[in-house]
Amino acid sequence: MKSQAIQEKYQAADLRPVKWLALVILLAISWQTKAAADSTASKGLVQLQSSGNCGASMLTLNGINQEITRQINWKKDDQIAAVTDIPAPIITVAGGSEGSEARNFRFPLGLFVDQAGAVYVADQYNHRVQKWLPGAKEGITVAGGHNQGSFSNQLDYPYGIVVDKAGNIYVADANNHRVQKWAPGAAEGVTVAGGNGRGAAANQLSFPYGLAIDGEGNLYIADNYNHRIQKWAPGAVNGTTVAGGNGAGDQLNQLKYPNGVAVDAAGNIYVADAMNDRVQYWKKGAVQGQIIAGGKGRGNREDQLYFPSAIWLDENNGLYISDNTNHRIQYWASGATAGITVAGGKGQGTDMSSLRYPYAICLDTKGRLYITDQYNHRVQRYVHNDRIASFSYQAEAAGIYTAELVNVDGSVKGSSSARVDAAANAGNIIGTEAFCVSGKVMFSNETAGGKWVSENPAIASVNELGLVNAYAAGSTMIRYQVKDENGCEAVVSFRVAVNEQPRPVTITGSRQPQEFTELAFSAEVNGGQWSSSDTTVISIGNNGNARALNAGAARIVYEIKGQPGCGLTATADISVMPAMPSVKDTVIVLDPGTGNGGAVQGPVFSLAKGGKWQYYISSGDSLKKVIGVILPRTAGIYTYWVSQIKNGVEGPKAPVKITVKSNPPFTLLVGGNPSVSSFLLKVQTSSVLPVSLRIVDIYGRVVEARNGVQANSNIQVGQQLTSGTYFAEVIQGNERQVVQLIKARA
């Protein structure tokens, strides 16, 4: 069945009162330490004996009979210092993997354990009910198992199940909106509730989930989508609403997608009100319920629940609650304001002590807890058996210590106390872990009155003030010993390494490389580590091979750590120069009308991001520099040099030869220059070769280009250009002309 509401597919099994195991604790407690004996009176069966007063002591409880002891509270001065959980042995009694074989489940839901210990499981996605005999390796299909369907021998997403004393199996056939009764050995079921289509009438159900049965054979059905609990007497054709039925809501007379139901001997009803994250108690004949668990908002605190899917009632009216989305089982004693985690509670998981969306719960006649671990496709059994165990606690500080044995319902079953005296305090040594031969280091300790001792004075000695003198390479232990007025001793140790002095080193290698070049650095002493202060300027590997990446300054560091505390460091300051510009010689033809040539843009096209140009021109009278654009005025051959400046560093100069011709091979006419809209260019020539054209801005960026233009035709350009200065370069064959264009503001 597809999910119809939030987490609707989690449903409880039949719940009936079964007593949890009684507590039997046989316990001998020994206090393992030294010093004078002192113990206080004990309560219950626990007796704690102590002898000792010098420092950390181990408290050990031997011979605990684990039947129901949930935890040991270790208290110091009446405050809980630690808690030792006593986990129940856990075994998988059915399933363990997803599948449709007899040994598998697919998201099991409902659960029931009969008097003989047989486990009945609603195998949801396999549309069947499986019976697992004690110790069996696979289950036997006792209801459904003939594919998903609505025939009498079929089920459609079975949820809750309950088995009466005669062995009849009652199944909440959720998607068929009915409850089926399967007699022992029957090949098909009989509808005993619902089965009249989905609806809210008295003879109808809408996704029945949880089931319970009382001593008179009355069925109690969690009618999930009708937000009510229906009671069906044996042979009845209609059900009677005994809880909820007032629409979905969180008022006391309402339920919201109830999943689980239980009934006590007096006919009082308990409801797992799933979407309200609470359990409600409806006294027999009441028109509204009382919240007895949860109901304090969705959460994982001890007083909260998150989608409770099933409940089981013990004879003391304590509740075991499947806290589905918190992946735990909570026990709420009668009248309690918070629950106690008795299974899971570690978040969802697949190990033996974890649960994943546990759905139904059941206790057998021996008080063992069974859980359908839905998303792990298994049934887990928590067993509190008679195994004898020991538990210990390390007492670290002085005080009165008490050991309490706590039952699963939170009651203390036994306790006893003992005194632990303070240990001597040796403080902490403050010193240097490593230094070199001939070094002197002053050690200290905040605790006064102690004695300094060196384990090996030939390597390093220490005087009464804590001054350590190093004589030879090696390792030794410096100790500080304290003895207090009670005769208790304490010692603290500090290991030091004395190292040989390494010899100085120098770095060799280029100090002014060009960017994008490979280079190598070396030092006369091996075993060091290379690094760069700025890896965006120059990077270096541990072998000394480096690469200059960007112009700028950085420091290469070579560090010889050697033995701890005795390393040396050498440095080299590196200035990475910008790369030489990539330029080419060019030819410019003078405009016979103005005497000015076209613009030379050459090196601008190779300018690196973030850099700028520095120009050195051969003749200031003949060439005019305009932001990196050269405008020749007379024919001739000129040379200028260009270099990059990046990050404040100027690189090598590159020469560029400019040949200026006075007789153009073709005439370039420009109409509308300056212009606020576009320019009209025309190439007048006797050649039939096609013409190519490109427009660049003053930074050399191409903003418009045309190729294969017919000679002597009009070329309209610049419609999309913003205001500013541009240059049009026209090429026909081997001839080239450049003209300046001015785009004015509209």
Render pLDDT for 412-452 as a digit per residue (tens, 0 to 9). Answer: 777 777 777 777 788 899 988 887 888 888 999 998 989 99
Q: How confident is the model at residue 641 (pLDDT cuts 50, 70, 90)?
A: low
pLDDT at 31 over 60: no
CA–CA separation, 358 vs 383, rounded Å? 17
SS3 413: strand
pLDDT at 663 over 60: no
Q: What is the pLDDT of residues 170-201, one digit of tens each?
A: 999 999 999 999 999 999 999 999 999 999 99
Q: How confident is the model at residue 635 (pLDDT cuts 50, 70, 90)?
A: low
The better pLDDT of the pair 47, 365 is held by: 365
Q: Say which residues have a Cβ less than 8 Å from residue 567's Cβ, sequence separation at least 6.
A: 502, 559, 560, 561
Q: How confident is the model at residue 53 (pLDDT cuts 50, 70, 90)?
A: low
pLDDT at 737 over 80: yes
- Among 18, 10, 17, 21, smallest CA distance to 413 is for 21
- Among 580, 577, 579, 557, smallest CA distance to 569 is for 557
Q: What is the pLDDT of residues 539-581, one digit of tens each?
A: 999 898 999 888 889 999 988 776 555 767 888 999 888 877 7
Classify the C-alpha dihedral 408-413-419-420 as positive or negative. Answer: negative
CA–CA separation, 124 vs 175, rounded Å? 11
679-694 mean pLDDT: 87
CA–CA separation, 373 vs 45, rounded Å? 37
Residues in the chain: 746
Weakest-pLDDT range from 94-103, 220-229, 731-740: 731-740
Supply the pLDDT for residue 25.
Answer: 26
Q: What is the pLDDT of residues 359-398, one digit of tens each?
A: 999 999 888 899 999 999 999 998 754 444 566 777 777 7
**Residue 102 burial by Cβ neighbours in a 10 Å radius (0-12, 13-18, 19+):** middle
| Centroid of chain to Cα 212 | 41
Q: How confident is the model at residue 28 (pLDDT cuts 50, 70, 90)?
A: very low
CA–CA separation, 358 vs 330, rounded Å? 11
Weakest-pLDDT range from 1-5, 74-78, 499-503, 701-705: 1-5
CA–CA separation, 212 vs 12, rounded Å? 9
Q: What is the pLDDT of residues 505-526, one digit of tens each?
A: 788 888 888 888 899 998 877 8
The better pLDDT of the pair 601, 89 is held by: 89
Weakest-pLDDT range from 31-45, 277-291, 307-321, 647-661: 31-45
Q: Say which residues have a Cβ less than 8 Å from residue 620's Cβ, sequence separation at least 6.
A: none
Supply the pLDDT for residue 606.
Answer: 38
**Tally of CB atoms within 10 A around 375:** 16
**320: number of CA atoms within 13 Å, CB side?**
29
- Structural domains of the chain sorted by starting position, each given as residue range(s) with its CATH number in brackets: 47-88+387-420 (2.60.40), 103-382 (2.120.10.30), 429-499 (2.60.40.1080), 507-576 (2.60.40.1080), 586-592+607-661 (no CATH), 666-743 (2.60.40.3080)
Supply the pLDDT for residue 220.
Answer: 98
Supply the pLDDT for residue 60.
Answer: 64
| Contact call for residues 497 and 481 (beta carbons, < 8 A) | no
Q: What is the pLDDT of residues 206-245, one digit of tens each?
A: 999 999 999 999 999 999 999 999 999 999 999 999 999 9
CA–CA separation, 29 vs 5, rounded Å? 53
450-457 mean pLDDT: 94
Q: How confident is the model at residue 464 (pLDDT cuts 50, 70, 90)?
A: very high
pLDDT at 44 over 50: no
